[in-house]
Chain A
Amino acid sequence: GAVVSQHPSWVICKSGTSVKIECRSLDFQATTMFWYRQFPKQSLMLMATSNEGSKATYEQGVEKDKFLINHASLTLSTLTVTSAHPEDSSFYICSATGTGLWQPQHFGDGTRLSIL
């Protein structure tokens, strides 16, 4: 149980392109989904917290107009990197948590984004 699917796994595109990444909880309802980013040899850093039906909460230093998050249903959240540039190249990974106390987060497979 507790499967989270993320798509696509790899994206290579030109600078200036907008890229959408999907995160789905396949077998549970995720009221909260999280988006992280990991640069090489660095720790995963939380970018934003996404609650179904409401606006995402962004961490300090993360531009909300650049990283658009939509969480329209209990099983799907999307992250759109708008007008991506080479410095946005990173490993983007989502996680989802179900309801109840002491629930761990379950991670998607991640999306490796390379901007040329």
Chain B
Amino acid sequence: RKEVEQDPGPFNVPEGATVAFNCTYSNSASQSFFWYRQDCRKEPKLLMSVYSSGNEDGRFTAQLNRASQYISLLIRDSKLSDSATYLCVVSRSGGGADGLTFGKGTHLIIQP
């Protein structure tokens, strides 16, 4: 079983729609959780950290369910510029001492 699993998509979504991605992780000792965004042939960029209480940043909402080892990302009012690959990322530590484990990513295409 992969450590971090995501639906690779692609998700083709009209502009303005709401889209949700899910991710599951296998290591119950994971401490830190993130969503990164990666554009084609570029480095990943941090979108947001994910906390058990859930957190929101503008149009983006992330949720973590530790019991189910499940992470979600919701994008509201999607923009053309949201087209990218969204990477679910976990870490064993909370202090940045450990490397990150990446999912393969979910490919999102926002259509005009």
Contacts and interface: CB of A to CB of B under 8 A. Distances in A.
A109 interface: yes
Interface string B79-106: 0000000010000001111111111110
Contact of A105 (B42, B96, B103, B105): B96
Interface in A79-102: 91, 93, 95, 97-102
Contacts, number: 63
Interface residues of A, number: 30
Contact of A32 (B42, B43, B97, B105): B97
B100 A46 contact: yes
A43 B100 CA distance: 11
A16 to B, nearest CB: 26
B20 interface: no
Interface of A: 6, 32, 34, 36, 41-46, 49, 59, 91, 93, 95, 97-110, 112
21 contacts: A32-B97, A42-B104, A43-B4, A43-B103, A43-B104, A43-B105, A44-B87, A44-B102, A46-B101, A59-B99, A93-B43, A95-B100, A98-B96, A100-B96, A102-B32, A102-B95, A105-B46, A105-B96, A105-B100, A109-B42, A110-B43
